[in-house]
Structures are given as structure tokens and as C-alpha cells.
Chains A and B, each alone.
Chain A
Amino acid sequence: MTSAVLFSWLATCIPLIGALAGRMLWEDLSQLKQSCVIWSLISVVPILKLQTNLPEGALLLALLPIVAVISLLGQPVQKDHRLSWVMTLVCLGLGIGSIVHPAPLSHLFLLALLMTMTGLLVHHHTILWPISWWGISLFCLAALGALVTVMTNPPLSSFGALMTAAVLIPLLPFHTGYVTALTRLPGNLPSFSAFLLPAVGLHVMASALQTVPTTASGIVGLLALIGALYGAVKALAQTRVRLMLSYASLSFFSMLWWHSAASNLATARAAVLVASVGLATCGLLIAWQIIRTRYGDDVDPSSISGLASSMPRYAVLVTLLALAAMGLPPFGVFAGLMGLLLHSPIPSLIGLMILLSSWLAASWYLMSAVQRLLFGVRRSDLRYHDVVQQEWVALTITIIILTVLGLAPIEWWTSTATQSMTQTFSRVIP
């Protein structure tokens, strides 16, 4: 067994072992949460030792355990969340497995991940949210796509992979799976899934795009444009925070789809965008979780206001996250978008205008939501309690990573495979 294989298996198995170990600490909530955090952190070590040659670079892979830690830290110590902590480790292990292992093993891990998601969504289905059946169906479709990828040859396998990727990195009309995951999964799983699904999705997409026919790329580009606009409009119309963030992600990920469809590539720049959007969404979901921790799981956001004066630390962190999420410098979303805009062909000017409008819309709905929460009347019927240490650590790490993603040179995240692809691409485009 080579060291690469060994570390791949270690990276995959450590979280899964952690999940099993969690069963032993089931009754001690604090210990269980700490254990999940520690197992996630340990899984970083083999990943750092891995010499991967992924087309999208190792950035997303390296960030996966860190995002798991962040999402766990943002969660209160509560009995109902035990399952979500353990399932975070399970999903982390399966997610890493689907990236680091070669096919067909990676497809099996991917299949397992999708089935786990499906199972969790079925388990948490409620009749008040009938639309979640659509989401569940789409995860099944993604699983089917993964099966097709394993069992067939190109171009059919490429279509299967593309369909799986479209569910994981939301692309209209396959976005409902992602939206359902972010809105219906319990505990910290939505914030973790906001990063995990696109990260795995980009890996699938990277391998699929190279063999997809041009016509299919054109359709994907068109869907992406519609999706960007649709996501922005839907986000504008939302009153629920998690829905708004889901549609905002759809809008931003559609921009990635558009560029990827145009270039038939998923490079490290795409990874920066996916990481940044995923991380910003994860951070904002944690920020919303902080509100839910104080005012109940099913709190209505319109009933919360005036946090700026009463929860100043929270207000500062949320404002920074919102600035990052709407794509302002110096954060990663800006760097990712600009990287794609400047380093890949722009197939149509109208498409570009649509993308820029969607980007601009983000500054409206995100800031509007933040403004509603932070400003306005300080309500006398609310008990205000600023962020506790673990929440503060979670949000601060998120902001630091987003800043690093925005400021670090792209070479940091580029693998050998990507470099060679980019060079080829540069030669093609005069």
C-alpha cells in the first residue's frame, strides 16, 4: 500500500471512526461535541499529507474538516443535536472518500453520501414542508446519476456525472435538493452541507466537463444564466433566512456553472469561488443558528431586530460575513468571481450583464436581511445575549478563511493538473 493510498484511507476513515466513537459518548453531550470536533481536526492531518493531483486543487478537500469543525462549534450543546454531530463526521468521511479515492471507489462513497442525505431528509420530513419530497427525489436522482457514471461509458457517464453535480452544486432546475438540504436537515448539518455538497459536486463536475458534448455545455450555460437570475429574484422575495441563503447560493453557483460550461473546465479559481460561497453561506447559516439558539428553532426572522446595540460582537461578525457573501473585496467570493471573469472566456455580453445584475442583487437582499436583524427597534420582549466563545470562534475562523481566500495568490491552491490545464487553455485563447 503506497503512502497516498494509506493517507486517503486514513482521511476517509478517521471521521467515520470518530462517528462510531461518538456512540460511546452519546449521553455526555459536551464530551460528544468535543469528540466530534477533535475527530474532525485529526482528519486534517492525513489530508495535509496527501499528494493529490485533483483538477480543482486541494483547497476544498483541506477545508472540508475545518468547515465541519466550524459548523460544530456554532451549535449549542443540546440533546437534539447529537445525531447531527455524529452525522457530520459520517458525511465528512464519505465526502472525503468521494474526493480522494479513484473511481469507482469514489463513486461508491458518493453514492453512500447521497443516500445518507436522502435518509436524513426522509427522517426529518414534515407535512408542513411538502416540497421537501422534491429535494429528496433530486438526491435520489443524483444517486442514480452516480450509478450511471459508474456503470456506463462517456458520453452517458458524463451526463450522469453532470446530473449528480447539478444536484450537488445547485443548477436550475436541480437546485431543490440543495435548497431542501439547507432548510430541512437538522442541527449543524445545513451549515456543513452548504460547503460539503458543492465541494464534492465540483470534483464530480471537474471530471465530467471534459467529456461533455458542446451542445450540453450550451444548455448548461443557459440554465446557469436563468438560474443566476432566478436565484437572485427568489432570494429577494424570501422572508426565511435559510431559504434566502439557499437561493443566494444558487445564484452564485450558477455563475460558476456558466463559466465552467463556457470553458469546459473546473479549475482552482472555480474551487476558490466554491469554497468562498460555501463558506460564506456556512457562516451565515451559523449566524442564523445563533439566533435560533436564543429564540427557538422555528423563530420568525421578522420578529427579531435591534441586535446591533445589544449584541455588538455578533453584529460585527455578521456584517463582515454579509459583506463577504455579497462579493465585496477583500473576501474570497469577490476574488473567486473576479478570477473567473478575468481568466476565462465570456461567451456572451448579455450573459455577463445578467451575472453582474445577479451579483448586484446580492448586495440588496443580503444587506437588507442583515439590516433588519441588526437595526430597527430594540425589542423589549427579547432577551439579548451576545455570542458565546465557541460561536465567536466559529464565525471568526470563517471570516479569516474568507479573507485569506480573497487575498492569497491563486498559485497557493493550484495543483499540477490544474496548472497544466490552465496553460493549455491559455494557449488556446490568444
Chain B
Amino acid sequence: MTPVNESMDLESKRMELRGVVRLAGEIIAQYWPMRTFVHHNPLHSLEYLPFEETVRRGKQFLNGDGYLPSDLYRAYVASGRIRLEHLEAALQPLASDRTIVLGSRSVTHGEVLRACLTEGICSPVREPLDDQLEDPDRDLIERIARKLEHVLETPSLDDRVKKVVETNHSALCRWLTLSHWCDDTLGTSIVQTINDQMIKWCSAFLDEGHAAWTMSDRDEGLYQSWKRLAAQEWSLIGIADSRRKIAALPDHPEDTLLESLDLLGIPLALRQDYLSLQLTALPGWAGFIKWRGEERDYPWQQAHPVGLVKFLAIRLWYARELVQAACREYLDIQGRFDEIIAYMRDYSEEYYLRRQRIAGHLPSLYAEEVDRLAHRKGQGWNAVLTRYRTEVVPRHQATRRRGNARRLLVLSRSLDIRDEQLVESEPQALKQVIDWIEAFPESDHGIVWLKAFEAGYHEPLIGQLIAASKRERTEKPTTLPLRPYSQSVYCIDVRSEPFRRHIESIGPHETYGFAGFFAAFIRYRAWGKEHDTEQFPVIMRAKNEVREIPRSYLDHKVSQHQVWTKWVHAGHTLLHDLKENVITPYVMVESIGWFYSLPIFGKTLLPSLYRRVTRWLQRQFVPPLPTTLTVNKLSPTDTSEMLTVEHHKLIRVAIQERLGLRSIHITPSLIEGLRQRALQGGGEQDPGFLAEAEVVGLKANALDAFVLVLQREYDVNSRASSRYKERLTRTGFTLEEQTLTVETALRMMGLTKNFARLILFCAHGSTSDNNPYESALDCGACGGNEGQPNARVLAMMANHDKVRARLRKTGIDIPSDTHFLAGQMNTTTDAVRLFDLEDVPPTHRADLARLHDDLREAAELASRERCGRFPEVQQPLDESQATAHVRQRSVDWSQVRPEWGLSSNTTFLIGRRELTRGLDFNGRVFLHSYDYREDPTTRFLEVLLTAPQVVAQWINMEHYFSAVDNEVYGSGSKIYHNVVGRFGIMSGPWSDLRLGLARQTVMNGEMPYHEPMRLLTIVEAPRRGIEKLIARHEVLQHYYHNEWVHLVVLDPVDGEWYRYRANGEWAQLVQEQMAMTS
């Protein structure tokens, strides 16, 4: 019984640990592979906490700032972007009504707080012990400092030592790993060493086809693979006898992780936080492993399984060994939590000096002394501390007084108090001001700045909308609506907003906004591709598959096309292998390296021409084939037929490969007979078939063996057939599904009457060169892919006669002369490409030509508008210049901002176009068409708030955090980016996987191009319905109650505007004031 109990106990421990690891992983966000970049909130898992609290956690675990540096906010104040009245409004909850007198002036608490923000007097600048720069205020500062001498209490050295010990005691394992502790106390670089090891192993293991020489034993998982290889590796990182130790580790990663936690002595209560800290040391790699661990169907995950437990097992093994070695070497103690705590307590003064030394706070001579004593615990430290106490501490105290005097001087000048008056002020009054300043440290400024910053944007925007809504109410239409030239539906993406504005300005075109997947949840496989793409928001799932196939009249060209494609592919593979192989590059450079000068010079000097020539060449070799999509479901007969054809093909190949028979001897009846036997297993044998089999040399025994081969190696068996059939049944949509999809889409966007002759579903994608972030420019609602398959699917469904007939019954009467078109806007060039033009009736040629021309004109205008935002475009460009410029950018391989359209997003607006038509939002607003009159039950609004709003919020938060702390939440400069393993980006040759957006995407020089603000959602719908939705959905409560998203509502019931507050109450907006601001 005992072994069984022990094993059960062990298993329960492992399960418990897996749970702890799952919770510990909450702090890190999933990292999607770069080829389907998904904008997301890097702190998404913590949205259940208030925004401010989450920002604090981000600082705790990731050391990431949640707000812009105060200097930048002050620059916004100087430029007028942040207004003082907004700042005061944001400060109001913090300011008391107390006042003090400085000189002859009465100063309020609020004024001091405001000066803290605008003058930067709370900045954490440390006064140097004795700076010697010329300073005209030096005497004044000295005088003020002298006044503070008797009122300003400075903590004694003993108090400071005690405080440091207490702070670090409580931080250990909560904010600080033992490895970090060693680095901060002993000057080791354990964290960096562990990170380097983890990057090495993870990049080798997780590789997805980039490496020419792959890591061995990857199919056994990260832990086993590491264990096997590392046990043969000579350790250069100071772990003695590492090979033996690794070889002796348990087989289960959970056991190793538990063992490490025990050896480090991490208390049970702190284990989750401790593991979180370990994960956040490399949030990129850990995030990707977390994503892989959750995507069990991901082919690479199936082939090479990995998970956070495995990752942590390896990481903590390194940690325990290195911490142990460092603690023994420097302190002669075990590297355990309890022993480290005891050391801090028993040798607190020595500990203090060590930490001050590593933090760079000791004068250089003392630093030398500490270095000399570094390997001696308890010996000689007292002498140093005594000298430090008598020589340095008084200087520190004087420095502190000088620092405070400088602050007071800056404050008094900002309040127009004369210097002499300040010097003559009562010391107690001066101390009071210092207390106020110290009670409002810079770490508390961020949220105040952010609120003022947001108010400065919200006020004019909402004012603009209020004015528009008033106009719309007062100007009633006098005539019946005319039939527009066209209606086009664009993605809600902010990049569609300028284009929609321009096409509406050209002629009577109506536009709508809808999430770019157009309600078509599909897995899509493009013609000639081997993998599906998931064409829907990542928070959802799809059950329908759609394939792109050549049009039926081109059957005769397909095989030729395939052959050419194969040759081109083989050529690419050959070149890649020659380049990446260990030996061949040396020969290759000598032999054909010169040919590469052509693309190098072409791409660099004449990128547009080079692109045109290469495309022309490509078309000569592999001309594009017109295609269609498999939108309709296959009937059972079609499914069986396709299965049979597939089986026949496989069996024919098997006979040729295994039996060596020539085609002439392989009869259809033989193939069918073999198929039947493979599918049915044993049973009665048809004598006719047996005879035929004997003719080709298959005797009874050989026949059975061959059938077994068919079943096992060629998947000709009943189970595989079921799978294949099931897969085929997922292809396409039933008529009901198609009707529902079209109806949902049209109703949700409010397009249910007055249909134009041409209706365009316009998806979007992008083109750029040498840009690993290319998919970040594609459609977020389509899972980071181009949206054209979805647009084509919806257009094909809407053109379906039977679908229209059914829609008619639901009250949507689409005229017979209305034709739905699919298109895709290239957001880097603004050009719109139309698809399936073969299906456009001849009667619509004139309409199509007009639409085509207007789209081109709108594209030119949109390009011109966008060119005005590029910093390097100094002069305004005309339309043709702008078009040429954006095309050039899209093919320029040195361009770090090929598009720059998605940054600067701020707002998600759900409402009728009538509310926003003609308003210029500068490409900053996600516009989703929604007519509350078509949605009395708020069924559609529910979808909009819980799906597209989530996508918009993820995009917004990705940009927000990338802008406020680009090094931690963003991915730093693009200049240093290197692609690793075909799934991620590293800075330089060796770094964590970079998480968010590049610096060039969100910053314009030192100032943010993307103004980091939380998403503002504006909805035109009755408040009562929205309240119910908020009560029903946790995600909405998190957004609005935890202040992740601002909600403003235009209530059509009373025509008033309201802001939803975090406490669940509505506050009516003062319309006149807002309108005036706008």
C-alpha cells in the first residue's frame, strides 16, 4: 500500500504544482507567433484588477512603467495638449483645503501638488554629495538649506539600515527572487546568466524551421531534451559537476521544480509569486511557451511539446545551483530563503554596505573597501561602517537639505514668490511644504497625468459629436433617400476612417463599418498553401472551413500551374538550404554571391521599379489563376465521391510504390476491391477480385499484407475515412448558416433597406518589405491575417439567390439588381483591389467602372492625408506624388514605418453613420455601424461590446503599453531586430522575445506618435439596455468598473450624452461646455 500511497501523494503534489504554475503565469501575456501578430493587452490576464493596481503589478513583476515619463507629460503641458484646468480637475480628489504662508503669499495644498507635476519638483533626482558645476543659485540654496537644518529630520544610519533590511525582508520572494537578491547584494550576475541559458535552450528547442541544424530529441519535450543535451555539456557558468547533477535529475519536470523550490527553501505561501517572478524575468519566451502550452492543436506543439512547468523546472535548477554557489562563496551560508533572511538580520550593517555598493551609492573609496571585504563575512566591516557614519552620513544629510532647498526654490519661483521672501519664510512652513511634496512622490503622478491627458482629448471629440448629433436632430430630411451609387462596408479599423470620409466626399457613396471578419468565422486555406489561417478574432473559435480553388473552367491549366509552382518552390528551398547550411555558404558566396548584388541595388536604389520587374517575372513563370471559394457545403454524395477519388489515388500510388506494377496493369476494379477490403477489414472474399489480384501476383497472404500496409501507412481505413469525411463536412456553410451569417451582418451594421446596385465588402491587408511585423498591419479581427477571404465569403453568400429568398422572409429584401462585391484595401498604399469580377453581371459594368474610379480617387486623397503625418515629408504632396510616395514606402526594405496608420487610435464608436458623417477623426477612431432601432433586444450590441470592443481594446492597450514603456512592453528599436525561429523577434543576437510594438511604430523622435490613452467607447443606444449588458458580462464590468475603458453613451431616449462612471453611475455631460471646447 505504501508505494501506491506515495505515488498518489507525488501525483497530487505534481497536480498542485501545475495549478500554482498556471496561476503564476497570469502575469505574463500569451505571445502569438509573429506571422499572425495579434495586438493584445500585455497585462490582459490582470484586467480583473483596477487599471492602477495592474500598472503597479506590472512595475512589481516586470519593472515596466504604466505611464509616460513625467517629462513628456510636462512637454504636453508646454505645448497646450494638456490643459491646466484638466490637471486641476484630476488633482482635485488629492488636494486638501490646507494652506501655508511663504513670504507674504498664501499657498494652497493644491498649488503645491500642481507645481509638483508641472515643475518636476518630485523627480527622484539624487543630489550629488559635492557637485562642482557652476550654479548661480548655489548661495541661495545654501541659505535655505541652513534654515532647514533644525526642522528637517533626517533618519539616522541605524534607521536606514533597519529600513533597508525590513524592506528587503518583506520583498524577498514577493518582489525579489533569490537570484536577484544575490545580484543586488553580492554583485553577481545570476539572473543574466540564467536568462542566457534559457534563451539558448528555448531558441533551439522552439525553432520552427529556421535552423539548418535542429536540436535533437525535441519530440520528447523541452525538459527531457534539455536534460539529455545539457548532461553532456561542459558548463562554463560556474556550476561545478553540472553534467552529473543534470543526469541525476528526476524524469518529471514537476519533481525537479519541487526539488528546486525545496532546496531554495521557498515558503509554500510565496511559491506562486516566486514563480511569477521567475517567469517575468523572460516574459517574451515565457509568454510564447504559455501560448504554445494552451494551443494543443498547434502542429509545432504537437511535435515538440513545451509548457511553463518544463520551462520553470530548467530555470529553477540553474537558479538553485548558482544561488547556492554565490552564497557559499561570498557569505559562507546556504543559498536558502531562511538563511538569507538570517544573514540580513544578523549582519544588517554589512548587508547595508554591500547593497549600497552594488547600487552605486557609496563614494568610490568606500566602494573599494567593500570590494576588498566582499569575500569576508563579518570581518572588517565595522571599521568601514564607523568611518562611513562619521564621514559620509553628515554629507548625505547636508545633501538632502540642499535637495529640498532646491525644490523649494523651484516651487516658489513657479508661484511667483520672490527668492528673498522664501528665504525669510518660517522654517516650519518650509518643512510643511516639503512634507506635502514628499507625500506626493512621482510614482503617484502617472494616473493624474493620464486623466488630464485623456480629458484633453475627450472633451473636444465629444463636443464635436454633440454638435453633430444636435445638427442631425434639427436637420430632418425633406425628401425620400436617393439610391446611392454604392454602399461599401469597411473594417472598423481606424485606417478605414479617412478612406470612408474621402469616398463619401467624392459622390453619393454610403459607407458602413463592421469588424473585418464580416461575421464569417472561417478557417481558410489559400490555393497552393499547406496550412490554414484562422480568419476570426483570437477570442473566438470557428467550425467552418473554406478553401480557395481555381475556377472550374481553368482545370486544364491547374496541373501546369502546379508544376511551375513546384519548381519555383524547389528553387527557393535550394537557395535557402545553400545559404543556411554549415558549409555551403562559403562556396555559394564565391560562386553566385554576385547575383545578389542585383536585388541589393534594386531594392535599395530603385525599390518601386525592382518590385515591378520581379512581379512581372513572377507572373511569367507562375501566372495567377482566377479562383473561387468553397462556400457551399458538400452534399453526402459529393463527400463520398471525393473520399473515393482520394482513396483511389492513394491506392494507385501504393501499388506502384510497393508492388512495382505499371499503370497499365492497374484496373479500376482492382483498386476498388482493395479499397473495400481496406475499409471493411476481413470477411467474405469476392472470388472475382481474388482472381484479379492473383493475375497481378497478389496471392492470398500477400494480399492481406498489402491491405495492412494500405491501412497503416496510407491511411486507407475506416477511421481515417471518418476523419476525412468529418473534415469535408466542415468545409463550407449550409444554406441556413449562410442566411444567418448574411442577416446578422446586415442587421448589425444597419444595412437593411435602400440597397445600392453595388455593395462592396472591403477587407484590408498590407504590403511591406523586410518587416517582421507585417502581420501587425493586417486585420486584427481576422486573427492578424488579410481579410479578403472573409469579404469574398460574405459577398458570395449574399449573392446566393436562395439566401436572398430566405432573407426576404426575414424582412431584408435585397433587390435583384443589387450585386455584392468583395475587395481589399492595402493599408500601406490605400489601393483597393476587387475580387471575383467574373461574377459581376454585365448590366453592372458602368457601376463598376464608376466605383473603381471613385475608389482610386479616394485612395489618392487618403494617401495624401497620411503623407502629412510622416515626419520626413516636409512639404504637402499632391495626390499623384502622395500615391507614388506611399507605394515607394510599401516596397522600401529600409522603411521602418511603411504605413503608420494604426498608431494613434483612441476611440471605438458604435453608432449610425449619420452621427459621424463629415467629421474628421484623423484616423484615430474605430467606427462600427450600428442602428439601435434595428436591435430592440440589444442582441447585436451585446456582440459588439463583447467582441469588436475587445479587439479594439487589445489594439489600444498594445499601443498604450508599447508607448509608455517601449523597452519593457514594446520591442525597442526595429534597427536591432532579428527574427528567431520564424516565430519571434529578438533585439540583437541574444535577448528575450520582444513583446509589443517597435519604438518607431509608437514614437516620433522623443515624443509619442501614439498618444497613450485608454480606449474611449462611445455608443449610441439606450442606457437601460447597456446597463443590462454590463450586469450580464464580466468582461464589461472589468472594462468599465476597473477603468480600463471609458464609456460614453448618447441615449436616444432623451437625446442626452452620459459618461459611465467606475461606480456604475451615469454622469450627464454638460453639452454646451463640450461643444464650446470642440
Q: Which A residues lie at the B interface, using CB under 8 A?
A: 76-78, 126, 128-129, 239-240, 292-304, 380-383, 385, 388
Contacts and interface: CB of A to CB of B under 8 A. Distances in A.
Interface in B622-640: none
B125 A381 contact: yes
Contacts of A301: 364
A79 to B, nearest CB: 10
Interface in B320-370: 357-369
Contacts of A298: 129, 363-366
B128 A295 contact: yes
Q: How large is the interface on B (under 10, 10 to 19, 20 to 34, 35 or more residues)?
A: 20 to 34
B409 to A, nearest CB: 15
A298 B358 CA distance: 15
B390 interface: no
A42 to B, nearest CB: 26
A129 B365 contact: yes
A239 B371 contact: yes
Q: What is the interface of chain B mostly: helix, strand, loop, or mixed?
A: loop
A380 B371 CA distance: 26
Contacts of B129: 296-299
Contact of A76 (B124, B132, B367, B368): B132
B125 A128 contact: no
Contacts of B369: 128
B664 to A, nearest CB: 74
Contacts of A388: 133-134
A239 B367 contact: yes
Contacts of B367: 239, 300, 302
7 contacts: A76-B132, A128-B365, A129-B365, A295-B128, A300-B357, A300-B367, A380-B69
B132 to A, nearest CB: 4
B590 interface: no
Nearest to B371: A239
A294 B131 contact: yes
A24 B364 CA distance: 35
Given A128-B369, A240-B364, A296 B130 contact: yes
B808 interface: no
Contact of B130 (A77, A297, A302, A304): A297
Interface string B101-145: 000000000000000000000011110111111100000000000
Contact of B363 (A76, A300, A382, A383): A300
Q: Which of A128, A240, A292 has the most CB of B within 10 A?
A: A128
A199 to B, nearest CB: 28
A388 to B, nearest CB: 8
B1002 to A, nearest CB: 17
Given A126-B365, A128-B365, A299-B364, A293 B123 contact: no
Interface string B379-404: 00000000100000000000000000
Given A303-B360, A381-B125, A382-B125, A296 B365 contact: no
Nearest to B65: A380
Contact of B361 (A76, A303, A383): A303
B365 A293 contact: no
A126 B124 CA distance: 32
A353 B61 CA distance: 49
B29 to A, nearest CB: 23
A415 B41 CA distance: 73
Contacts of A385: 133
Contacts of B368: 128, 240
A294 B387 contact: no
Contacts of B134: 76-77, 388
A238 B132 CA distance: 25
List of 5 A-B pairs having minimum Cβ-Cβ separation, nearest first: A303-B360, A298-B363, A296-B128, A76-B132, A296-B129
A243 to B, nearest CB: 9
A382 B125 CA distance: 5
Contact of B131 (A128, A129, A296): A296
A186 B363 CA distance: 16
B126 A382 contact: yes
Given A76-B134, A77-B134, A296-B131, A381 B126 contact: yes
B357 to A, nearest CB: 8
A185 B364 CA distance: 15
A240 B360 CA distance: 12
B397 to A, nearest CB: 15
Contacts of B124: 380-381
Contacts of B123: 380
Q: Which of A76, A294, A299 has the most CB of B within 10 A?
A: A299
Interface in B545-564: none
A304 B131 CA distance: 14
Interface in B290-329: none
Q: Which of B128, B132, B358 has the most CB of A within 10 A?
A: B132
A303 B133 CA distance: 19
B133 A128 contact: no
Contacts of B126: 381-382
Contact of B366 (A128, A304, A381): A128
A300 B132 contact: no
B132 A303 contact: no
B233 to A, nearest CB: 26
Given A296-B129, A380-B124, 7 more contacts: A76-B133, A126-B365, A300-B361, A302-B360, A303-B359, A380-B69, A381-B125
A172 B368 CA distance: 23
B363 A78 contact: no
Q: Which of A126, A298, A381 has the most CB of B within 10 A?
A: A298
Contacts of A240: 364, 368
Nearest to A30: B134
Q: Which of B126, B129, B131, B357 has the most CB of A within 10 A?
A: B131
Nearest to B369: A128
Contacts of B132: 76, 78, 292-293, 297
A294 B125 CA distance: 12
Nearest to A295: B128
Contacts of B69: 380
A402 B128 CA distance: 33
Given A293-B133, A294-B133, A128 B128 contact: no
A128 B360 contact: no
Contacts of B128: 294-296, 299
Contacts of B360: 300, 302-304
A300 B133 contact: no
A42 B124 CA distance: 47
A76 B128 CA distance: 15
A128 B359 contact: no
B89 to A, nearest CB: 27
B125 A300 contact: no
A85 B128 CA distance: 24
Contacts of A295: 128, 131
A300 B363 CA distance: 6
Q: Which of A240, A296, A382 has the most CB of B within 10 A?
A: A296
